[in-house]
Amino acid sequence: METAVTKKNEKTRNVILISLSVLILILFLILLQLSYTILKSDKVYKGVYADNLDLGGLSSQELKETLNNKYKYEENNIKITLTTETTETTNKYKEKHSLTDLGISFDIETTANNVFSIGRKGNIFERLHEIFSTNFNDINISPEITIDQDKLNNIVNSFHEKTFVPVKNPEIIFDNNSVIINSGHHGISIDKEQLFNEIIRYSKERKNTKISIPLIITPQEKFDLEELYGNICTEPINATVRVVNNVMTTVSHKVGRMIDKSVLEEAVIELNKGDNITKELPITLIEPKITEYQLKANMFRDNLGTGKTYFSTASQYNIDRNENLNLALECIDGVILAPGDTFSFDKTLGERTAEKGYKSAKVFSGGKIIDAIGGGICQVSSTLYNAVLRSNLDVLERHNHSFIVTYMPAGYDAAVAYQAIDFKFKNSTNWPIKIQGRTTDANELVITIIGTNENPGKTVEFYTQLVKTTEFKTIYIDDPQMAEGKTVIKQNGINGYVVDTYKIVKQDGKEMNRYKITTSVYIPLNKEVIRGTNKSLPQHTDVRDPDSQEPSLEDDADLQDPNPEDDTDLQEPGLENETQDQKGTNVDSDTVDPQDTVDSSDTADSQDAVEPPDAVDSSDNTDNLDSNDKPNSNSIETISSQVEEEDNS
């Protein structure tokens, strides 16, 4: 049973609960209103600072004005001093810049936003927590910094340029009879990237600061005695010429120098001790053998050597052949070679074509005599070869003909064939040389090499020795259309020979050296005879159509021997005459190989041959014939290899 006390207590408890509920509700409403008011505030919350400057309670505009005043002052008044370290050889350098000068500024807008954002991020509870926290723990905001990269780089580069000292390496200067040697000096520089980063780092501290930049020392090169001695001492260099497209230009001489090495060594020791040390030392000048003045005064002064051969104008064939000869002669006439230059007959003439005016004439090919464009020019190359021998120049390439030729003694000819075999020689003198070619009214082909003979007492002579003779064979060709007993010579025979050519070098008439320069191998040309086998025809009667007959040497004027009445004696070099059957074989053309390769550069020739020179003396530098000599049609024409004692077979 409830008592009155119990009822009273229950009533009291209910009143208390209701009162507390109302109070809590009131407090909640008050707190809610307060929170709303705080969250809706447009001021900086209490406890927010920027660089220890209290910004609480400031509006957004007031905040920006306050920050602008503070940081603009710092931009213009905080100074950063840039300085270099002192070294033994350089003084300290320094310069002072404001943050504005350095391109460093404060971002007022961003900094203000950062300050104003305190208490305004996250949900309601996060915001309230941060707002109430600032009442107990202040928040200090650092300003945002903006860097003008170009402006700062300009300051850094300018500082680098003002402190930079380039390395000056040692140098030598020649002054008449002395050499001036300077040790040079070391270089100085700074690390620009390091300076850039240091400026940014110290600018964030926003206080007057000195940045000390270490110097980078780059030492100059030191003198090396042997290298310096080699640079000072030089051999004299003769004046010379340079030839391009046959246009000659003079290259000046250079004076040589010498120095006392012991004196130089003492100087090097002193020079390597420090910077900007100078020594002047005496040197000896050495004049070259050929100065520019001497070169111009003595250039093309002497006739070094002459080659001479004869040609014929007796027939239309010879006229065509001589046109080829003259075309080739025009190509080489006037050619200039500087010292050390190489002459190539093939390169100088180029391809021999009808478009260039070359005619068809006899050539050697595959052991036969045929017609081809450019026949006859081997007489030019052979005559030039003899001029080269007499000029005592270095022969680089030379080949003999496959058969002997009539215009040049055995061992002295030079065959050429476009892009197959060439004649080459080198200007082995210290002076430029020039080739001069001409023909005379006496049907002489004369080639002379002019230059400068530095040793007139030195002469060269040449002679040949017959090593071997290979007799030709007679081949008979039966012809049923020709009467039995009748014969016609289709091709006369030529013996083959192996001939060695020797060179004698003399000084003032005394023999200094004798050696073989070439071995020339000539193959035999078989004699071909057509003989009749028709017994029904009267003897000595030929019923064939003359146009269909093989030409005989008696009927072929271009191949006719100068003495067609009987077989011609061929004089072997160094031996007595040996009777040979050589009618119509006075052919100057060459063969490249036995595979029917046509040598279009050489032809058959009906002119007389030149007597082979026995021990030609180059002291007079001319061929052993003069214009009044009669060519000997009985001499053997030979060719030799260009390499000393090398057998070119």
DSSP 493: -
User: Measured between alpha carbons, how far is residue 578 from residues 255, 418, 526, 571, 574 in Å?
Assistant: 61, 35, 17, 6, 12
pLDDT along the chain (649 residues), means of 10: 67 76 65 53 78 79 83 87 75 86 86 77 69 76 85 92 91 93 91 90 86 90 92 93 92 94 93 91 94 93 96 85 94 96 96 91 76 89 98 98 93 94 96 96 96 96 97 95 93 95 97 97 95 83 41 30 31 32 33 34 34 37 37 31 27
Per-residue pLDDT, 313: 85
Coil, strand or helix: which one is 77?
helix
Q: What are phi and psi of 153, to 5 degrees?
A: -65, -35
Cβ atoms of residues 573 and 499 within 8 Å: yes
Per-residue pLDDT, 29: 53
Model's pTM, two decimal places? 0.58
Q: 108-116 vs 60-77: helix axis angle to the nearest 10? A: 140
**Secondary element (H or E) of residue 147:** strand 145-147
Nearest to 79 by CA among 199, 214, 190, 161: 199
DSSP 355: G
What's the one-letter identity of residue 72? K
Per-residue pLDDT, 281: 94
The two three-digit tokens of residue 565, written as one number? 């009445």
CA–CA dist 236, 374 (Å, integer):
47
CA–CA dist 374, 368 (Å, integer):
17
Coil, strand or helix: which one is 644?
coil
Per-residue pLDDT, 25: 66
Give strand pairing partners of 218.
187
CA–CA dist 252, 240 (Å, integer):
7
Coil, strand or helix: which one is 26?
helix
Per-residue pLDDT, 30: 54
Q: What are phi and psi of 436, to 5 degrees?
A: -125, 125
Per-residue pLDDT, 465: 97
Burial of 457 (0-12, 13-18, 19+ CB in 10 A): exposed
Q: What are phi and psi of 589, to 5 degrees?
A: -80, 170
